[in-house]
Amino acid sequence: FCDKIKYVTGSIPHAPSLLRSGYPDLKASNIICKVGHGMRATNEECEHMYRKCGHMFIYKIEHKNHLNMKLTNKVTRMQRIEEGDEYESFDYEKQLEETEPNTSTLSTAIEQPHNNNNNINNNNNKTKKQHKAFFPKRGETLELVCESLGFKGKGVCKVEETGYVVMCDRALPGERFIGRVTRKKNNYSEVTKVKTLSPHEDMVEAPCEYALHCGGCRTQNLLYEAQVRAKEEQVRDLVVHVGKFSYKDPEFGNVMKPIVPCDMQFHYRNKMEFSFGTKRWLPKEQLADKSEDANVFSLGLHAPGFFDKVLNVDKCFLQSEPANKVLAAVQDCWRNPELGLSPYDCHSHAGFMKHLTIRSGRDVETRAPQLMVNFVTSSYKPELLKPLVDKLAVFPEVVSIMNNINTAVGNTSVGEEEYTLYGKATITEILRGLAFEISANSFFQTNAHQAEILYKLVEDCAGLKGDGSEIVLDLFCGTGTIGLTLAKKVKHVYGYEVVPEAISDARRNAKLNGVHNATFIQGDLNKISESFGNDFQKPDIVISDPNRPGMHTNLIKYLLKLKAPRIVYVSCNPATCARDLDLLCHGSVST
């Protein structure tokens, strides 16, 4: 390996793809190839074909003879080639002709210089056992080892012989298994697990009967403590590689602290959205023995990778027991043909029932559970829903039954119109001693128990004096939950949010709790102008809680110019958070 970029000659049209498959972290912009479309390349055409990319380098070969480089399906075996070394001739195109047609097996190893210790010729190469190709075919089986958990809990795996990267749903770190290739991407493949050869040491039996097929809990068969470790490792890697914080920095321990686990592993979600469907998703074994009919109407959660098939669910371990009773009651009767409740068909766009959303809260005085049931339908026909409303109204926890009308052809659960079919239009939840009203489409932390801990951490990180002298700027404030919990200890809170309904909820919640030192302003923080900041005093503390895309560059520039003493960044996406932290802490944004 070296730090100089030189030339590679020969006909090597597939090399960039090979490099990316062997090193999935490399992006297309990290590899410059002037060959393209399988054309033969000369020294001039390959000039600066590759540049420095991460931890891997390709050397320039300056030699009087025409040099060719063998393609290799094991990129890590690339050798340093010194100027003046002697090379054997190698006909890449002839090698391809000798390869079995339509196979993805490529040639063996990079051309190596003659020396006393390592003299490899073509005959030896032909007799050597060839590794599996970098580009396995769809349907091919591979022996894999899961190395870590990636995005959405997918296992990041590698083929041992080649280092080729494969993603597998429900594969756990350390698990060795057989997988079948189902999909091929530019620089990796996706597989489904066929057989586990050696399980992960922290593998447990998932308590939910739907865990192996549902798209909601991909790591339920992994010990919770191991889940926390895996998540912490993901965040730590992002902070280092994207946020550009160094492990060697003595302050790194202050930057990255241990994850605070939740003591409620199940039944913690206060909102669950279930879908109605015309086609039921069934596991292969049930399809094979025909024990279940796939054409039966279903109510549940979408199967992973299917927008038109729904896994029928009678009980969900994420929501509360009262909410599960409501779900079971709806499942018990909605298919009755006498009711005339047809599920929405996402292909023909016919049908009435789209979604069932169940929200949970607590009564302010008694702390008793409250439930809101929201039926999302394609049109307003309250007479069709009346039998369901009557059946659910007998549950003491159900204090609100709503009907959202969504006439669009998409799969969204937010309606253009809203009607109250039973009870009131809101439920309440309590956070840090404050009451918050929640409507059918309000944004609210889905784990109220852990939100209490989160908001306490926000207050601790803000370092409030507690004397009521400080100004707080609450960016992406939503319904005002964070700002309102801090209001009693500061001079004033200014909250900004783009969604008008959320601003209305925030103002109503401020009035409900008798908070008079909070101002909530509707505005798009991704489109701020130079006049931004004229509506409030210079803040001492900035709280930012953006959605998944993170903060816009213009907002980051404003914060850098503002130079607030403290900024507390709350994030639901560690990747964009790490990116923004780099810009905020290292000032690497053009002004």
Structural domains of the chain, with CATH: 1-132 (no CATH), 136-257 (2.40.50.140), 271-425 (2.40.50.1070), 446-586 (3.40.50.150)
Instruction: Give the pLDDT of residue 474.
Output: 97
Regarding predicted confidence, which is higher, 380 or 443?
A: 380
Tell me: pLDDT of 412 over 70: yes
Choose the most confident range, by mean pLDDT, from 225-234, 369-378, 498-507.
369-378
Beta carbons within 10 angstroms of residue 88's beta carbon: 14
Q: How confident is the model at residue 304 (pLDDT cuts 50, 70, 90)?
A: confident
pLDDT at 490 (0 to 100): 96
What's the rounded Cα separation, in Å, for the pair 519 and 168? 47
> Which range is most confident: 12-16, 105-109, 162-166, 436-440?
436-440
Q: Which of 132, 210, 218 is nearest to 168 (CA)?
A: 218
3-state secondary structure of 230: helix
- Out of 55-59, 139-143, 515-519, 544-548, least confident range: 55-59
pLDDT band at 252 (very low <50, low <70, confident <90, very high): low
Number of helices (H), then strands (E), belonging to the chain: the values are 13, 19
| Ramachandran region, residue 158 (left: φ > 0; alpha: ψ -120 to 50; beta: rest) | beta
pLDDT at 56 over 60: no
Q: What is the DSSP string of 154-188?
A: -EEEEETTT--EEEETT--TT-EEEEEEEEE-SS-
pTM greater than 0.95 (yes/no)? no
Q: Please report the pLDDT score of residue 411 as a whole number.
A: 76
23 CB-near residues (< 8 Å, 6+ apart): 53, 54, 55, 56, 75, 163
Q: Is 532 annotated as a binding residue?
A: no
Least confident range of 243-257, 456-470, 513-527: 243-257
pLDDT at 326: 98
Q: Are strands 541-544 and 471-475 parallel, antiparallel or unpaired?
A: parallel
Q: Looking at residue 97, what DSSP letter applies?
A: H
Residue 280 is predicted with a pLDDT of 83
Can you tell me whether residue 199 is helix, strand or coil?
coil
234 in a known ligand binding site: no
pLDDT value of position 290:
63
* Per-residue pLDDT tens over the stretch 175-222: 999 999 998 887 788 998 999 999 888 888 899 999 888 877 888 888
Task: Rounding to the nearest 10 degrees, give the CA dihedral for residues 413, 418, 419, 425.
Answer: 90
Per the listing, tokens 């914060």 go with 559
pLDDT at 77 over 70: no
CA–CA distance, 75 with 73 (Å, rounded to integer): 6
Known catalytic membership, residue 572: yes
CA angle 354, 356, 358 (to 5 degrees): 160
Return the pLDDT at 387.
96
Q: Is residue 454 exposed (0-12), middle (13-18) or buried (19+ Cβ within 10 Å)?
A: middle
pLDDT at 188: 85
Greater confidence (468 vs 16) lies with 468
In sequence order, the β-bridge partners of residue 475 are 496, 544
Mean pLDDT across 313-321: 95
Least confident of 245-259, 401-415, 497-511: 245-259
Share the mean pLDDT of the chain: 78
Query: Is residue 150 predicted with pLDDT exceeding 60?
Result: yes
Band (51; pLDDT cuts 50, 70, 90): very low
464: left (phi over 0), alpha (psi -120 to 50) or beta: beta
Nearest 10 degrees: Cα torsion 374, 376, 377, 378 = 150
Maximum average pLDDT range among 151-155, 251-255, 471-475, 498-502: 471-475
Confirm whether residue 82 is marked as ligand binding: no
Q: What pLDDT does 118 receive? A: 43
Average pLDDT over residues 303-311: 83
What single DSSP character describes residue 68?
A: -
* 293 φ/ψ angles, rounded to the nearest 5 degrees: -100, 120
- Predicted confidence band at 97 (pLDDT cuts at 50, 70, 90)? very low
Confidence (pLDDT) at 34: 32
Of all residues in the chain, the percent with pLDDT exceeding 70 is 74
| pLDDT winner (highest mean) among 22-36, 367-381, 399-413, 440-454 | 367-381
Asked if pLDDT for residue 106 goes beyond 80, the answer is: no
pLDDT mean over 417-444:
93
pLDDT higher than 90, residue 491: yes
Amino acid at 248: K
Q: Is the pLDDT of residue 392 over 90?
A: yes
Average pLDDT over residues 430-453: 92
Measured in whole angstroms, the distance separating CA 356 from the mean position of its chain's CA atoms is 24
What pLDDT, in 10s, does the model give residues 500-521? 989 999 999 999 999 999 999 9
DSSP letters for 367-435: --EEEEEEEEESS--HHHHHHHHHHHTTSTTEEEEEEEE--SSS-----SEEEEEEE-S-EEEEETTEE
Please tell me the predicted confidence (pLDDT) of residue 583.
Answer: 93
Given a contact cutoff of 8 angstroms between Cβ atoms, the answer to whether 144 and 159 are in contact is: yes
DSSP reduced 3-state for 472: strand
Q: Residue 590's pLDDT is what?
A: 54
Q: Catalytic one among 346, 572, 577, 585?
A: 572
- In this prediction, residue 60 carries a pLDDT of 32
Mean pLDDT of 581-590: 80
Q: Which pLDDT does position 588 carry in this prediction?
A: 62
Asked if residue 545 belongs to a known ligand binding site, the reply is: yes
